[in-house]
Amino acid sequence: MPAHGRAPQEGPELCEGAPCKGTDVAEIVMSHDPGEADRRRPGAPSFRGLGPQSRGWLAGMGITTPEQLAAHDPFEVYARIKAAQPRASLNLLHALIGAVEDRDWREVARMERTPILLRLEEMGLL
């Protein structure tokens, strides 16, 4: 477990310095598909930072590709998921924004905290 005491986050970067699920390479790669990151151009939309649970919620909304996600407002997507899945946390919104902008969700949380909270308040989600 990392020094900060929390389990590693699900997502494409899970195997970098943390234990991977599965034992063979194909299983690991399939369980951590970064949305074809190797074939994307830098800055293109991805599923970066979105684990299987989040991608499942997106699929339930008909969003199955990074391009489909990029065509939606991350705040509206978050609002729809939050309505159906009350346990979805604010980290999901950070990850949705990060996926659309190809940024780490932790950077989004750190750098965009105030504007995100203001927008959520305007939407009546806080």
- Show me where the domains of the chain are located: 25-122
What average pLDDT does range 81-108 have in this prediction?
A: 96
pLDDT in tens, 16-26: 444 434 433 33
User: Taking 90 as the threshold, does the pLDDT of residue 96 lie above it?
Assistant: yes
Q: How far is CA 61 from the centre of its chain?
A: 15
Please state the three-class secondary structure of 36-102 as a single string: CHHHCCCCCCCCCCCCHHHHHHHHHCCCCCHHHHHCCCHHHHHHHHHHHCCCCCHHHHHHHHHHHHC
The CATH classification of domain 25-122, taken from the options 3.30.1360.170, 1.10.150.20, 3.30.450.20, 1.20.120.1200: 1.10.150.20
Instruction: Write the CA distances from 20 to 7, 25, 56, 97, integer angstroms.
Output: 12, 10, 20, 25
Confidence of residue 32 (pLDDT cuts 50, 70, 90): very low
